[in-house]
Structure 1
Amino acid sequence: MAVTTPARERTRHEIVRQAMDLFQAKGYNATSLQDIATAAGCSKATVLYHFSGKPAVLAAVLEPAAADLAELIAAADALPQAETQEFAIQRFIDLAVVHRGVIDVLQDVIPVIVEMPEIAGLVADGMRMTRYLAGSDDPLEHDLAKFAVNGLLGECRHPGERTDDELRRLCDIALRRLLRRA
């Protein structure tokens, strides 16, 4: 017997799917709740039934990437310090490639990201990831890690320009050249 998804869950999923598409195509700031509702085939009131506002929709769009990053951070936390930088490099590249569309959306909100409590966990995990990538407590290494992450994320914004394998190779080489080995 086939398992059916309740209508509310299907509607919520469609809202998130359409929001992702719109955020990528138009940008977060240029997308209204009405735009999302229209694309999802529902009313703005229905969107607001499922989400408290546009930042909550954004949080739902980012949730799969946030969950994967939280899992990566938890795994890195359990490793000896000497192993965390290499682990972070390998896994972060994979996450960036898998979630390249989400990264495109995220780049649009970076100037105001600290003002969005709905994605505070993602921001905190991103900062921890940067520390792991730095591989040391040296402030210069932290700045280099931030620079490397911003470059990697910027490169992931253009999904049609490189294959996943090409992007993985580029990001791996770039991170390893910029970040000294701990």
Structure 2
Amino acid sequence: MAVSTPARERTRREIVRQAMALFQANGYNATSLQDIATAAGCSKATVLYHFSGKPAVLAAVLQPAAEDLAALVADAAQLPRAEAQQLAIDRFIDLSVEYRGVVDVLQDVLPEIEEMPEVAPLVANGMRLIDYLAGSDDPLEQDVARFAVNGLLGECRHSADSSDEDLRRLCEVALGRLLRRA
């Protein structure tokens, strides 16, 4: 006998799915809760039943990427610096390619992301990722790592004509050239 997903869970998933599409197409700030509700085929009250507000919807949209980033940071924390840097580079490339759409959404909210406690763990793990990518406590290496991350995320965002493999290759070459190995 097949197990079915409860209606509430299906509705929640649809809200998140539609929010992702709308945030990516229109931007976070240009998308209202009513827009999300209409796209999901429910009322705004239903959206608010599942989420405390638009930042909570955003957190749900970002959750899979945030969980994978948290796992990367936790894994890197267990390794010596050089190995942690290589792991961070390899997995950052994978995450950048896998979550291209999320990068669109994330780039749109960066100016106000620190004001959203719902995504604070994602921001904190992003900062830890920079440390691992830099492979050093040197401020210049940290700046280069930040520069590399921002550049690659920007390329992931505007890479509609690039295949995943092309984007992966670009990320590998760029990070290899920009980041000194620890």
- Classify the TM-score, shorter chain: over 0.9
Matches within 5 A, 1:70-109: 70-109=70-109
User: Are the aligned partners of 2:103 and 2:156 in contact in 1 as well (CA < 8 Å)?
Assistant: yes
3-state SS of 1:30 partner: coil
User: Are the aligned partners of 2:24 and 2:104 in contact in 1 as well (CA < 8 Å)?
Assistant: yes
In the alignment, what sits opposite 1:4? 4
Of stretches 107-116 and 82-91 in structure 1, the one that deviates more from structure 2 is: 82-91
Answer yes or no: is 1:50 the counterpart of 2:50: yes
In the alignment, what sits opposite 2:14? 14
Distance 2:46 2:150 in 1: 36
- Pairwise CA distance, 1:82: 2.3
In the alignment, what sits opposite 1:36? 36
In the alignment, what sits opposite 1:61? 61
Distance 1:159 1:171 in 2: 12
Distance 1:107 1:82 in 2: 29
Deviation string for 1:140-178 (max 9, x for gaps)? 000000000000100111352111110000001001111
**Superposed CA RMSD:** 0.7
In the alignment, what sits opposite 1:119? 119
In the alignment, what sits opposite 1:161? 161
In the alignment, what sits opposite 2:134? 134
What amino acid is the match of 1:124?
A
3-state SS of 2:122 partner: helix
3-state SS of 1:107 partner: helix
What amino acid is the match of 1:180?
R
What amino acid is the match of 2:75?
A
Distance 1:2 1:181 in 2: 50
Distance 1:55 1:86 in 2: 33
Distance 2:37 2:132 in 1: 39
Distance 2:151 2:12 in 1: 33
In the alignment, what sits opposite 1:173? 173
Distance 2:9 2:162 in 1: 34
Distance 1:3 1:12 in 2: 18
Distance 1:166 1:23 in 2: 25
User: Are the aligned partners of 2:101 and 2:157 in contact in 1 as well (CA < 8 Å)?
Assistant: yes
Structure 1 regions of 5+ residues with no counterpart?
none
User: Are the aligned partners of 1:101 and 1:159 in contact in 2 as well (CA < 8 Å)?
Assistant: no
Structure 2 regions of 5+ residues with no counterpart?
none
